[in-house]
Chains A and B, each alone.
Chain A
Amino acid sequence: MGASQTRTEKYQDLADKTGFSLEQIENLHKRFQRLSDNEETIRNQHPKEVGSCEEIGFEQFLMVMSHFRPPSLKTTEEEKEAMRKEKLRFLFNMHDTGNDGTITLVEYRKVVEELLSKSGDIEQETVKAMADAAMLEVASTNVPHMAPDEFYEGITFEHFEQILKGLEMETKMYIRFLDVETPTLSCGNSTS
């Protein structure tokens, strides 16, 4: 009795923080337990990569997942704006592996390279050219008049927002979180 009481309290707490409903949190918790083999935390398979941490707990798991919630019919315009900013921030942080607040050319090149990594052997030249062209576009849209000597350090968050405002992130970046338990598959530890 007591245990489930605190658990619902904990869930309620999480629900308030992340905006999920209680059922969704239950489901996600079950999923989390399956992924972590019933332990408290999920361990990182590749701990030495840049910008990754050793293990995450359920709360952090939920926080990350909460970035993918869709807007509902009742969200106001300001809330939609805030949601969009939050999602864009998430994406930005994914690209900015150096954690310095800007996406540099090298980081961007890596992004494009990884996108194309599964499609056979792509020439480095093309990847480079594409990343360069994309960077050029960001630069020319945001800082149209740069003297030839200046150096564009990298894409800041504001520029990133500006470039992607046409995509309307809040309507695109979401997945369906289920309320009812579905017979989930065992997508085990061996993901590609």
Chain B
Amino acid sequence: MPSRTGSHSPTGIGKSLPERGLLLLMVLVLLEGSVIPLGAASSPDTGHQKNVDNHKAEGEKNHTKKAFPVLDLDYRHIQTPFEISLWVLLASVMKLGFHMIPRLPGIVPESCLLITVGLLVGGLIKLAGEKVPPVLDSQLFFLCLLPPIILDAGYFLPIRPFMENLGTILMFAVVGTLWNAFFIGGLLYAVCQIQPANPNELHQLEILPCLLFGSIISAVDPVAVLAVFEEIHINELLHILVFGESLLNDAVTVVLYHLFEEYSAAGTVTVLDGFLGIISFLVVSLGGILVGAIYGILAAFTSRFTSHTRVIEPLFVFVYSYMAYLSAEMFHLSGIMALIACGAVMRPYVEANISHKSHTTIKYFLKMWSSVSETLIFIFLGVATVDGPHHWNWTFVTVTVILCLVSRVIGVVGLTCVINKFRIVKLTTKDQFIVAYGGMRGAIAFSLGFLLKKEEFPMREMFLTAIITVIFFTVFVQGMTIKPLVELLAVKKKQEAKRSINEEIHTQFLDHLLTGIEDICGHYGHHHWKDKLNRFNKKYVKKCLIAGERSKEPQLIAFYHKMEMKQAIDLVESGGGVNLPSAVPSTVSMQNIQPKKPPPAKPVEKALPKMTKGREEEIRQILRSNLQKTRQRLRSYNRHTLVADPYEDGFSELLIKKQKMIALEKKIKDMNYYLTVPAAPPDSPTMCRARLASDPQSYSSKPAMDRVPTIQVDLASPQSPDSVNLMDEFRRADQQEEDQGLTMKAPSGQSGFNRPGEADRGREQQKLTRCLSDPGPSADEEEEEEPFLP
């Protein structure tokens, strides 16, 4: 959940006052919302009663005539959605508010602030004398609030580091959680049993409820981990270790929870039950993954056919994933693992099939939902804390907190000793510290505790109090101090730089190289299996699940095209043709790299005199009017269709057109003396996309329409200095584009072989982009409200 740092105005304080006012208003409205139902509850009933009496008493016709209600207040009607929306609004406004305050987001993690807000809201509600709504209802939490966060995490899970460290992650998740649960549960029981002198309520605590409590509180919580680790930008390895652990321990938690809950009533657990528990664990985890994978493949397969209905593409992703979660929960399998598996499996295929816009939609919807969910969860935690019911027991709570810390540290250190024997890149002490310190508990533990039934577990309130205390401790104390500790220990941070094409090439090269070397050494190492999986994927799976040409596209090319597109969009956003805002400002362009080519055929150069102003104007007019004509054809807009985006539809056609253009260019080289003005100058893909990106209305390069009438003007004298080889200009400009691939520099007359010609070409190029991105005076903005932005 990237926290966008909004515009920090210098008058930060002044700006936040209206915000505070707004927040206060929100809270008041919320209170009203809870008060009014009670008031409204009484009157309709009595009104109804009176009416009935009237009818009965008076008989047929003598109704007491009420005035027709012009304005009526019927809160009951909309109560539930209204309150839900109010909560969501409150959460979002809070999030906005935090970033208005100058230095707070740097010191205090957002989760702490949100819990505090929840506490305040809960407190206000309680002060107003109302009953606090049972917001952290387990049903609501597990079915509505948790899935978006997990789906967001699963869909964007970085697969490569995850797979590379899978063994470590599993060790921490399974063995670590088991160790925590038994250690905490067992020692708590032991502690509760001492104090022989005064008969304590703690003595009633049996071993099994203790173990149950241990299993609830031992699991590292993905929501809390995400919330805190997002802000500290730690290196990828540690992030994936802690985060992966928090995701995969769900299976263990589910099994232990159900096991101990079932048998707490019976009172004993036999060896057979333990054995069944282990089997159950395998079923739960593998079953969850299987369910998720099945739904993922279904989603990928469905997305293969969505080329005609692009609008609903994101829906498939969301609905299939949610159904995977629900199906898994139905069988008491691990819903979290199902969700992760579904997202991770479907992603590569879906992304190859869907349009760019759908991809953006999916990304932003997931981020939005998960952000709102997370905010709501923390606020509700605060509210539920105020609600209670609480039962504070000093011994129990303090011992729990201490035991949690101690067991986590011992667990991590112990496991790392074992793990390091099998890892090549060992985990250092610093790493271990961060992993141990980052084990936060969160709302899942609370919800699981909430689910316990009071009849079977008389100590439920005590459990809840202890859980909340641990959560507060980890989130506040550990959450606030982890950032300075990371700085202090100089832990490696995340690399901000984006993946460059060189890195991609060499990573792939390395993969192949290492597979080969493993082959030479003769043992089946993990590169070998990865290679086999890739081959299988390419040969069979991709053919089924990816539509059309994209199924054969190797990964490197896909990466390259993505980069190209991104650069083109950047270029247009930065104003077209002017210096590209690249990471390293440099004046290096393709000319510097290409080995010196012999200058192109002489006759073409000779026909490149300067163009007069008048001619330029003419050309511009012609272009504009032609573009307008094509735009008018697209005016019929339908809510259910998106304006066609040629990139998706004509991917392979673009490539074919590129080739056609090259062939055409060769022909044109001989035709020097025609002024042909194509309305939509055909296209190197970069140019085409760049142009389209800036001007959403000129979708004239739909394949059917690109041969717009060309005006051929035979000039009076072929040798006249005014004759402009415009077509050739375009061609050469485009060819220049092609060679350049990614950089579209307006050379401003300096580079290249032919100075004066280049100058013109450069300026012409610039003018070309500018005039094409100018929508023209009378164009309407009907078709598409917003331009094609990333």
Interface residues, chain B, CB within 8 Å of chain A? 420, 424-426, 495, 497, 500-503, 505-510, 512-514, 516-525, 527, 538, 552-554, 556-557, 560, 563-564, 582, 584-596, 655, 658-659, 738-739, 741-743, 747, 750-752
Contact = CB atoms under 8 A, between A and B. Distances in A.
Interface string A43-58: 0000000000000000
B592 A132 contact: no
A105 B592 CA distance: 11
B505 A174 contact: no
Contact of A187 (B522, B582, B584, B590): B522
Given A115-B505, A164-B506, A185-B522, 5 more contacts: A133-B742, A137-B500, A146-B587, A172-B510, A191-B516
Given A73-B420, A130-B501, A152 B593 contact: yes
A139 interface: yes
Interface string A105-122: 100000110011001101
A151 to B, nearest CB: 6
Nearest to A126: B557
Contact of A171 (B425, B553, B589, B591): B425
A178 B595 CA distance: 47
A65 B508 CA distance: 20
Given A115-B508, A144-B584, A167-B507, A152 B522 contact: no
Q: Which of A91, A94, A125, A133 lies at the interface centre, i.e. has the most chain B CB atoms within 10 A of its CB?
A: A133
B596 to A, nearest CB: 7
Contacts of B509: 91, 111, 115
9 contacts: A116-B554, A119-B554, A123-B659, A129-B741, A130-B741, A132-B741, A135-B593, A151-B595, A191-B516
Contact of A137 (B420, B502, B512): B502
Contacts of B557: 116, 119, 122, 126, 130
A143 interface: yes
Q: Which of B506, B585, B741 lies at the interface centre, i.e. has the most chain A CB atoms within 10 A of its CB?
A: B506
Q: Which label, helix, strand, loop or mixed, suits the secondary structure of the B interface?
A: helix
Contacts of B588: 136, 139-140, 143-146, 152
Contact of A148 (B503, B516, B738, B750): B750
B508 A175 contact: no
Given A144-B585, A167-B507, A133 B520 contact: no
Contacts of A146: 586-588, 592
B448 to A, nearest CB: 38
A132 B563 CA distance: 14
A125 B658 contact: yes
A94 B509 CA distance: 11
A164 B518 CA distance: 23
Contacts of A71: 424-425
A182 interface: yes
Contacts of A151: 592-593, 595-596
A171 to B, nearest CB: 5
Contacts of A141: 584, 586
Nearest to A148: B751
A19 interface: no
A76 interface: no
Nearest to B506: A164
Contacts of A126: 557, 560
A139 B591 CA distance: 11
B589 A148 contact: yes
B534 to A, nearest CB: 11
A175 B524 contact: no
A31 B522 contact: yes
A17 to B, nearest CB: 19
Interface residues on A, range: 35 or more
B523 A184 contact: yes
B502 A163 contact: yes
A68 interface: yes
A28 B699 CA distance: 62
A138 B588 CA distance: 10
Given A122-B557, A144-B588, A185 B742 contact: no
Contact of A175 (B514, B553, B589, B751): B514
A150 B592 contact: yes
A164 B658 CA distance: 32
Nearest to B424: A70
A150 B588 CA distance: 9
A178 B523 contact: yes
Contacts of A112: 505, 556
Q: Which of B524, B557, B564, B655 lies at the interface centre, i.e. has the most chain A CB atoms within 10 A of its CB?
A: B557
A89 interface: no
Contacts of A123: 655, 659
A111 B509 CA distance: 9
Q: Which of B420, B425, B522, B591 lies at the interface centre, i.e. has the most chain A CB atoms within 10 A of its CB?
A: B522
Nearest to B499: A166
A34 interface: yes
Nearest to A74: B426
A134 interface: yes
Contacts of B556: 112, 115-116, 130
Contacts of B554: 116, 119-120, 122
Contacts of A178: 523
A105 B593 contact: yes
Given A31-B522, A105-B593, A174-B424, A164 B582 contact: no
A22 interface: no
A177 interface: yes
B593 A175 contact: no
B505 A175 contact: no
A115 B507 CA distance: 11
Contacts of B658: 125
A31 B513 CA distance: 18
A154 B56 CA distance: 101
A173 interface: yes
A134 B564 CA distance: 12
Given A129-B741, A148-B751, A138 B584 contact: no
A143 B585 CA distance: 10
A35 interface: yes
Contacts of A115: 505, 508-509, 512, 556
Query: Closest 8 A-B residue pairs measured CB to CB?
Result: A148-B751, A144-B586, A119-B554, A140-B586, A184-B522, A129-B741, A70-B424, A140-B588
Contact of A120 (B522, B552, B584): B552
A145 B586 CA distance: 5
Nearest to B595: A105
B243 to A, nearest CB: 20
A119 B552 contact: yes
A133 B501 contact: yes
A134 B514 contact: no
Contacts of B564: 133
Contacts of B738: 125, 129
Contacts of A145: 586-588
B502 A164 contact: yes
Contact of A133 (B420, B426, B560, B596): B560
A144 B587 contact: yes
A129 B743 CA distance: 11
Contacts of B514: 68, 173-175
B486 to A, nearest CB: 19
Contacts of A143: 586, 588
Given A144-B586, A148-B747, A164-B503, A139 B521 contact: no
B531 to A, nearest CB: 11
A71 B423 CA distance: 11
Nearest to A28: B521
A158 to B, nearest CB: 14
Nearest to B420: A73
Contacts of A147: 587
B466 to A, nearest CB: 39
A139 B593 contact: yes
A175 B518 CA distance: 7
B513 to A, nearest CB: 8
A131 to B, nearest CB: 9
Nearest to B662: A125
A182 B520 CA distance: 14
